[in-house]
Chains A and B, each alone.
Chain A
Amino acid sequence: MRLFGRKMPLRAQIGLAIVSMNVIAAILVPILAPYPEAAIVGSAWARPSFEHWLGLDNLGRDVLSRLLYGARLSIGLSVLITALSFSMGVFFGFTAVVLGDIANTILSRVVDLLLSMPALIFAMVVLSVLGADLIVLIVTISILDAARIFRVSRALAMNIVSLDYVEVARLRGEGLWWIIRREILPNALPPLVAEFGMRFCFTFLFISALSFLGLGIQPPYADWGSMVKDYSALIMLGAPTVFYPAGAIALLTIGVNLLVDWLTSTDMQKR
């Protein structure tokens, strides 16, 4: 199997298979899911049966359906946040370099400030005041992520901007936007794609962890992190329910990491 004109090793193929399976599940939820995500269809903690393949949860909702709806919310939200933070981070990172000293210093200091605390602690402080609202969650995590992407893209742009063709474009009188879009972006793209994958994993795990702590996505919406929290009550009895959402989280991250590992590996960098 080939991708980007390069042969994929087995590991990367497994990664790709896992990721596409998850994406397909997330997109086709309304067709695949046997029950609505918040519908109570039986008694609590019912065992797996023919109608409910994975059993029912603490309120009597179908675990399989919630797992599928959870895929949509967890993955969709992570993609949205990663995309938002990337546009912000890359834009500010490149602008800082192109505009030069003053903008560079100011933006870097702001980013240093944002990174002076662990992201989880920062997010918790904000959530304690604003409440666990979906918009708050998206904005907070995007800004925290953007700070990290800013650093990466700034470092990338620093290397590119010193090259001759950027200088040529500048002397030709091209504007800021042109230089960012036509000169820097195409050359920074391959490392940024790998960074996107890594950031996605980070965001995805981060949202799941917040939801697991009960501070992220709020009921009745199904999301993998809060499902882990809800189902963990049964672990003392040895019931495996908690491993469906937790395993789903682990599987998707492994898949993305396998892909990223291949994208950043040496045989991918060689031209």
Chain B
Amino acid sequence: MQRAALGLMTLWAASVLIFAGTQILPGDLAQAVLQNNATPENVAAMRHELGLDRPAIERYVEWLDHAAHGDFGRSLVNQRDVAHDLAPRLYNTLFLAAYAALVAVPLAVTLGIAAAAYEGSTFDSIANLTTLLAISLPEYFLGYLFIKWIAVQLGWFPVLANVTPDTSLFARLYLCFLPMLSLVLVIVAHMMRMTRASVIAVMELPYIEMAFIKGLPKWRIMIRHALPNALAPIINVIALNLAYLIVGVVVIEQVFVYPGLGQSMVDAVAKRDVPVVQACGLIFAAAFITLNLTADILALISNPRLRHPR
């Protein structure tokens, strides 16, 4: 309960930050929207139309109230309803992120445990080096690499992931395969390293040595004895990386011209379409905070010792 309240508080703080960032910072919005037509009369009229002549607090409360009811106002560029335009894009982004997460999480955890089990072996050091390289690669580098090799030269997958609302599930999975693969590679590396580290940390504890002395088989010690205690940090790392996925998605959508939320946000920032930026920012922040909160709660559930802080 306490954690959930904390999460809501953080979300509220983030909303203040987003609103303050877009409204109170210097730089006149009306002027920016009008650009070349910014005569003093036009600017004054625009300010009135956007409600900029009212106090910031009043506008903030109104905006938050509307946002809580799913109304993000109208776009400054094409006057369309923001929530209506963003809904299918949000679905696309969630689809891609969930797709990547479903592949990445089991893969990373299995590889991490395997690397920990064979610590110091050739497999371990190869895994160590490749993950270090993969962490260093920017998402778009991997994305373009896949486009060049797999999409252009081999022709197995389409270059662009242009899905529409009527695309069937299988077509979607197929179209999104390369974007998913790029995202997976970026986050798997980090998750796997952390999984390995936390399993190894547990494996060095005395009770594990005791289990070895008792003559239990290694796989049984790993799964029954070590894993439950390594679970909390692993869950934490997974959640952190899924939060990172949110950022990676923005870039990958741009590479594959995928009609998602990140792309709208980038366009809106370039055009200074403030209501759209606010809406996207709030959604991304909410997703980020929810993931962090889930991590906290899952860590509590998996480790009874954390439930009663001393």
Task: List A residues at the B interface (Cβ < 8 Å).
Answer: 11, 112-113, 116-122, 124-131, 201, 205, 208-209, 212-215, 228, 232, 235-238, 240, 242-243, 246-247, 249-250, 253-254, 256-258, 261
Chain A residue with Cβ nearest B276:
A128
Chain A residues with CB under 8 A of B243: 118
Q: Name the one of B14, B32, B244, B277 contacting A117, with C-beta atoms under 8 angstroms.
A: B14
Question: Cβ of B25 < 8 Å from any Cβ of A?
Answer: yes
Evaluate contact between A250 and B141: CB separation under 8 angstroms: yes
Q: Which residues does B use to contact A, with CB under 8 Å? A: 10-11, 13-14, 17-18, 21-22, 25-27, 29, 32, 129, 132-133, 135-141, 144-145, 147-148, 152-153, 159, 243-244, 246-247, 250-251, 254-255, 265-266, 268-270, 272-274, 277-278, 280-281, 284-285, 288-289
Q: Are A116 and B138 closer than 8 Å at their CB atoms?
A: no
- CB neighbours (8 Å) of B138 from chain A are 205, 208-209, 212, 246, 249-250, 253
Contacts across chains A and B counted by CB atoms under 8 Å: 148
Q: In the complex, what's the smallest C-beta–C-beta distance from A215 to chain B, in angstroms?
A: 6
Residues of chain A within 8 A (CB-CB) of B147 are 235-236
Give the nearest-CB partner of B281 in chain A: A125
Complex contacts, A126 vs chain B, CB 8 Å: 21, 25
**Bound Cα distance from A150 to B154, whole angstroms:** 48
Give chain A nearest CB distance to B88 CB in angstroms. Answer: 20
Contacts of A131 in B (CB 8 A): 27, 32, 272
B136 touches A257 (CB 8 A): yes
Is A113 within 8 A of B17, CB to CB?
Answer: yes
Cβ A257 vs Cβ B17 within 8 A: no
Least CB distance from B219 to A in Å reads 27
User: Taking the nearest CB of chain A, how far is it from the CB of B195, in angstroms?
Assistant: 18
Q: Which residues of B contact A120 (CB under 8 A)?
A: 247, 250
Residue numbers in A under 8 Å from B26 (CB-CB): 130
Distance, CA A209 to CA B281, complexed state (A): 17
Chain A positions within 8 Å of B27 at CB level = 129-131
Closest to A131 in B: B27
Kindly list chain A residues whose C-beta atoms are within 8 Å of the C-beta of B250: 120-121, 213
Closest to B29 in A: A129
Please measure, in the bound complex, the distance between the C-alpha atom of A131 and the C-alpha atom of B27, giving whole angstroms: 9
The minimal Cβ–Cβ distance linking A106 to chain B, given in whole angstroms, is: 14
Interface CB pairs A-B, < 8 A, 12: A117-B18, A118-B246, A118-B284, A121-B247, A121-B284, A124-B269, A125-B278, A128-B22, A214-B266, A243-B144, A250-B138, A257-B132
Which A residues lie within 8 Å of B285 (CB)? 116-118, 121
User: Given contacts A213-B254, A257-B136, could you give 8 more A-B pairs where the C-beta distance is less than 8 Å?
Assistant: A118-B284, A118-B288, A122-B21, A129-B272, A130-B27, A212-B138, A235-B148, A236-B147
CB–CB B22/A125 < 8 A: yes
* Contact partners of A261 in chain B: CB under 8 A: 132
- Shortest C-beta distance, B71 to chain A (Å), equals 19
Contact B251 A215 (CB under 8 A): no
Q: Report B302 CB to chain A, min CB distance, Å.
A: 24
Asked if A129 and B270 make an inter-chain contact with CB atoms under 8 angstroms apart, the answer reads no
Bound Cα distance A128, B136 (Å)? 28
A215 touches B266 (CB 8 A): yes
Report the minimum CB–CB distance from B100 to chain A (whole Å): 16
Chain B residue contacts of A129, Cβ below 8 A:
21-22, 25, 27, 29, 32, 272, 274
On whether A128 and B137 interact (CB within 8 A), knowing A116-B13, A117-B281, A120-B250, the answer reads no
Contacts of A257 in B (CB 8 A): 132, 135-136
Top 6 closest pairs, chain A to chain B, by CB: A253-B136, A128-B269, A254-B136, A246-B141, A128-B277, A117-B285
What's the minimum C-beta distance from B76 to chain A, rounded to whole angstroms? 11
Contact A113 B13 (CB under 8 A): yes
* Residue of A125, A240, A249 ringed by the most chain B CB atoms within 10 A: A125
A211 to B197, CA, bound (A): 34
Q: How far is the CA of A143 from the CA of B183 in the complex (A)?
A: 27
* B269 touching A117, Cβ below 8 Å: no
Q: Which residues on B sit within 8 Å (CB–CB) of A124?
A: 265-266, 269, 277, 281
Q: A118-B243, A238-B152 are in contact. Are A253 and B21 (CB under 8 A)?
A: no
User: Could you tell me the distance in whole angstroms from the C-beta of B40 to the nearest C-beta in chain A?
Assistant: 21
Q: What is the distance, in angstroms, from B179's C-beta to the closest C-beta of chain A?
A: 14
Q: A124-B269, A212-B254, A215-B269 are in contact. Are A116 and B152 (CB under 8 A)?
A: no
- Contact (A246, B272) CB under 8 Å given A125-B277, A126-B21, A236-B152: no
